[in-house]
Structure formats: C-alpha cells, structure tokens
Amino acid sequence: MTYAWLAAALAVGYAFGCIPFANLVARRHGIADLRAVGDLNPGYWNARALLGSHAALPILLLDAAKGAAGAGFGLAVGGLEGAVVGWIGAILGHMFPAPMGFRGGRSLLCLAGGAIVVMPLACVVGGVVLLAVRWRFDFARGIQACLIVAPFAAWFFYGAGLRLAIAVGLLLFVGVRSYLADRALARAGIQKHQDERA
C-alpha cells in the first residue's frame, strides 16, 4: 500500500462525500437548500421533518451509500488501511463539502455506511440492536443504542486493532461535531428535529 493509493482513497472518498444527495432530493420537492430551512442540516433528519419519511428515504440510503462507496473504493485499492482512509474521506466530504462552501451535514449516515464495509459483523449486531430499540421506543434511541453497542461488537469480532480504534475515533469525531452543531442551533433559538414514534 503506497501513499499514492492512500491519497487516492482519501480523495475519492471525499468526492463521494461531497455529493449533496439531500439537497438534490429536497429540490425535487420544492426546497432549494436544506441549510436554509428547518434545523439547517442538509441531511436525512431535516429532510424527514420537512418532506416526510417516504420522500426522505432515498436520502437515508444515498448518504449511507457515500460512506460505503468511499470505504469500498479504499478497500479495493488498499485493503483495510485504504478502506479506513476512504471512509474518513467520505465523512469529511459530507461534513465539509467544497462545492457547498464547506457547509455540510453531521455525517452520521456516512459513518454507518462506511462501517458496513469496514466492520460488517459489528454492523449486523448494531443493526439488530437498532431495530429492537426502535421497535420498543423510537428510531433516535435505536441509533443511540447502536452507537453504544457497535464499538463493543467491533472489539469482540475484530479485537483491539485498527477497526476498533477507527470506530471509536470516528464516533467521537462525529459526536463532537453533532454536539457543537446542536449548541449552535440552541444559541440561535432553533430546535433540533426529534424522531417521533408515529
């Protein structure tokens, strides 16, 4: 694995992450830019609150696919290390997309999509937990439970190596980014969208 291939994985992952699927879908429903409406996040949750679950479903799938595509390209050209770099690139592209003035989303779905490629067995466990908690409570709590369980599942299946380190590191990075975004919303008097059971 050469530095050139690592750089390629990072660049291609970033390019995938920059694709503004949420805004492209929202425009088909009359919303020009999700960053100007709702909770100002160009992602699935804001689109879901504004457009409804059915209309926003493609965003959920496509934003996750960005992370999977970045990690998948990296895996193809550089093995596990390349997959990790491509995954990071996709997350950074979603958060800080150059074509959109570096104002992107929180990247939780990109995180999940890349995880499916890098640590599939842990994702199966996380997915089961998500569905179980979603069935009993709501989707937001299901995601929280999945994020708590996934690193332990990664440790169980893959040991204390690169997969576990990157899972914990990216969870912390995305979590801090989301926390800061929530604080900015609160200061602006904007309420973050919450999941509803119905």
What is the H or E stretch that residue 161 is in? none
Q: What is the predicted pLDDT for the residue at 84?
A: 94
Which residues lie below 8 Å from residue 20, measured CB to CB, with a gap of 6+?
42, 97, 99, 100
CA distance 159 to 107: 25
CB contact at 8 A, 138 and 193: no
Torsion over CA: 108, 112, 114, 119 (sign): positive
Largest Cα–Cα distance in the chain? 50
Q: What is the predicted pLDDT for the residue at 196?
A: 47
DSSP letter, residue 193:
P
- Residue extents of the structural domains in the chain: 3-187
Q: What is the predicted pLDDT for the residue at 193?
A: 60
> Tokens 């998948």 belong to which residue?
72
Burial (0-12, 13-18, 19+ Cβ within 10 Å), 110: buried
Q: What is the predicted pLDDT for the residue at 123?
A: 92
Q: What is the predicted pLDDT for the residue at 197?
A: 41
Q: What is the predicted pLDDT for the residue at 191?
A: 66
Mean pLDDT (10-residue bins), the chain, 198 residues: 85 96 91 86 88 90 96 94 95 94 90 93 93 85 85 90 88 86 79 52
